[in-house]
Amino acid sequence: MGYYIKKRNIFMLVNSYKLQISHKMEVLYMKNKIFVVYGAVFILMAASFPLAVNASSIDIENKKYFELKDLSIHSPKAKWTVMMYIACDTALRYRLINFYREVLRDVGSTDDFKIIALFDGKERGDTFYCYAEEGLLIPLPWYEEESNMASPENFERFLRLSMHYFPAEHYALFTLSDYGSGWQGVFSDTDGTGSTKTLSLITMPEVRQVLKNITENGNNKIDVWGIDVCIPGMVEVAYEISPYVKYMVANEEHGFEGDSGEEGYELGWNYLFFLQELKNNPDMSPEEFSNLIVNCYKAGTFIPKILLIIPAPQWYSITKFYTTLSAVNLSKINLIRVTLNTLASNLINNLNEVKYDIKKARQNTREYGKRYKKFWWIPFFLLYFHIEPLAYDGFVDLYDFADKLRYQTDNAEIKDSCTDLMDAINETIIANEALSTDPSYGLSIYFPELKCQYDQSLWRGGGNPEFNKIPSSYSDLYLSQDGLWDDFLEAYLGINR
């Protein structure tokens, strides 16, 4: 790999908005503080992607990187710009970084379709910002040699730079990371260690602020956001980003790689297929593209075939394949908030009467993320005992809970509230894929079983003292501020505020 070649203090520039760059392209800010380029020269003509950089902007002594004003990209307005934020600085995902690069090279860009990516692997100093041409990744100037991908400032910088210099009618964002934490955090960074002891997360309020800034308070929304991490497919996440994003594509369950390595990206997020389809059909609408992403889903190989015969949702979260994927029309998420508020209000008002019904319905509802893949060798222990310091406590399918509660209770008002909520979910979810034996309907919600689990950091016990307390409280979310679900949870669990 060119990332690890001997240093060569060459930075190739051409006049008339031509960029000379390597055919095998790899750039790294090396020990001598100079950008390097290696390989055969590839010339990009101004008509396709002219770029000019002011070489004087490099200040070796002060480690000054390129500023926005030094970068002049004259890219015509495309129909779609796809932005890939690929955080591979973790124990699980770093080994897939070459796979992601190969996908981007295979797809490439056209005048109507642009792919921009920011990579960060497990090595120090390997953050890499690039533009994808077919067969080639073209390096673009970045601010620093090593970026924290869980930094909201870094996330905003990536979006602002990509959207400004690669304008388009539609924008699709994909964030890929390990250690997704539902409403507590959507992507992470471990500072090159791969350990939770150095884990940092970007919280939902931080994401909300970045999106607010980037979209000018929702006036220029991102069309599609694919959140390829663990368990982000939640009502809380969807509602949080709804003022700034049109469609969300996410999985309710863990996002594993498949029965073997890269196979997962033919089963769940089939990037090569759906990006190629969008490239070939750039007139595709955001809704059509969101549907396409989800409809690429396949059940998988050996293990999923067994689970198609034997319904056993409690085992889904310890397997190594994607079990859920859904697309959400965020313009309709308020339907869920309103009907959820009605249900929560009715449950609070009738709590003494229906508390047992709630408990039984909750026990029988599909749960997500109850154990990490690292615990695959002790599934029986984890199934019967709740000793899960790194597990995800209390993420359940909202539709399935409403359905179970509707049949469990005799309270007519609550029955009607459950039905209305289920109808709202069906109207909001535009595409949903799961095993036929899996009662996953597209969106989960936070519902811990025990008082001691409520509003606790999912990474307590992970070795990082910063997570002994929750980074951002459940009460900080838009859904809590605008709704009654958190009030119901506190009443049901006996929490006095």
Q: Is the pLDDT of residue 372 over 60?
A: no
Do residues 249 and 226 lie in contact, with contact meaning Cβ atoms separated by under 8 Å? yes
Q: Is the pLDDT of residue 439 over 70?
A: yes
Q: Mean of the per-residue pLDDT values for the chain? A: 78
Please tell me the distance from the alpha carbon of residue 312 to that of residue 74, in angstroms, as a whole number.
54
Q: How many CB atoms lie within 10 A of CB 437?
A: 15
SS3 for the chain is CHHHCCCCCCCCCCCCCCEEEECCCCCCECCCCCECCCCCEEEECCCCCCEEECHHHCECCCCECCCHHHEEECCCCEEEEEEEEEECCCCCCHHHHHHHHHHHHHHCCCCCEEEEEEEECCCCCCCEEEEEECCEEEEECCCCCCCCCCCHHHHHHHHHHHHHHCCEEEEEEEEECCCCCHHHCCCEECCCCCCHHHCEECCHHHHHHHHHHHCCCCCCCEEEEEEECCCCCEHHHHHHHCCCEEEEEECCCCCCCCCCHHHHHHHCCCHHHHHHHHHHCCCCCHHHHHHHHHHCCCCCCHHHHHHHHCCCHHHHHHCCCCCEEEEEEHHHHHHHHHHHHHHHHHHHHCHHHHHHHHHHHHHCCCECCCCCHHHCCCHHHHHHCCCCCCCCCCEEEHHHHHHHHHHHCCCHHHHHHHHHHHHHHHHHEEEEEECCCCCCCCCEEECCCCHHHCCCCCCCCCCCHHHCCCCCCHHHCHHHHHCCHHHHHHHHHCCCC
Give the max Cα distance, the chain. Answer: 78
Please give the residue that has the higher pLDDT: either 388 or 179: 179
Confidence of residue 453 (pLDDT cuts 50, 70, 90): confident
User: What pLDDT, on the 0 to 100 scale, is given for residue 350?
Assistant: 98
Q: Is the pLDDT of residue 78 over 50?
A: yes
Confidence of residue 44 (pLDDT cuts 50, 70, 90): very low
User: What pLDDT, on the 0 to 100 scale, is given for residue 89?
Assistant: 75
User: What pLDDT, on the 0 to 100 scale, is given for residue 12?
Assistant: 29
Confidence of residue 458 (pLDDT cuts 50, 70, 90): confident
Question: What is the pTM (predicted TM-score) of this model?
Answer: 0.82
Best CA proximity match to 126, nearest among 159, 92, 149, 150: 149
Structure tokens at 349: 């008002």
Confidence of residue 158 (pLDDT cuts 50, 70, 90): very high
Please give the residue that has the higher pLDDT: either 48 or 342: 342
Q: Is the pLDDT of residue 307 over 80?
A: no
Q: Is the pLDDT of residue 309 over 70?
A: no
Q: Which domains does the chain have, with CATH numbers?
A: 1-55 (no CATH), 79-330 (3.40.50), 333-493 (no CATH)
- Residue 297 makes CB contacts below 8 A (sequence gap 6+) with 267, 268, 270, 322, 325, 433
pLDDT in tens, 197-231: 667 788 999 999 999 999 999 999 999 999 998 88
Q: Is the pLDDT of residue 438 over 70?
A: yes
pLDDT in tens, 119-129: 988 777 889 99
Q: Is the pLDDT of residue 19 over 80?
A: no
Please tell me the distance from the alpha carbon of residue 45 to that of residue 125, in angstroms, as a whole number.
30
Q: At what angle do helices 412-428 and 398-408 cross, to 10 degrees?
A: 160
Structure tokens at 316: 């889904």
Confidence of residue 22 (pLDDT cuts 50, 70, 90): very low
Q: Is the pLDDT of residue 404 over 70?
A: yes
User: What pLDDT, on the 0 to 100 scale, is given for residue 121?
Assistant: 82
pLDDT in tens, 241-298: 999 999 999 999 877 554 444 455 566 788 999 999 999 999 999 999 999 999 987 7
Measured in whole angstroms, how far is the alpha carbon of residue 424 from the centre of its chain? 24
Average pLDDT over residues 430-447: 92
Q: Is the pLDDT of residue 23 over 80?
A: no
Do residues 369 and 445 lie in contact, with contact meaning Cβ atoms separated by under 8 Å? no
- Residue 219 makes CB contacts below 8 A (sequence gap 6+) with none
User: What pLDDT, on the 0 to 100 scale, is given for residue 6?
Assistant: 29
Average pLDDT over residues 52-66: 31
Confidence of residue 389 (pLDDT cuts 50, 70, 90): very low
- Judged on CB neighbours under 10 Å (0-12, 13-18, 19+), 142 is buried
User: What pLDDT, on the 0 to 100 scale, is given for residue 423?
Assistant: 99
Q: Of all residues in the chain, what percent carry a pLDDT higher than 70? A: 68
Task: Give strand pairing partners of 86.
Answer: 119, 176
Please tell me the distance from the alpha carbon of residue 36 to that of residue 305, in angstroms, as a whole number.
49
In total, the chain counts a number of residues equal to: 497
C-alpha distance from residue 349 to each of 199, 203, 237, 268 (Å): 41, 32, 27, 41
- Residue 95 makes CB contacts below 8 A (sequence gap 6+) with 261
C-alpha distance from residue 118 to each of 45, 104, 431 (Å): 23, 12, 28
User: What pLDDT, on the 0 to 100 scale, is given for residue 462?
Assistant: 61
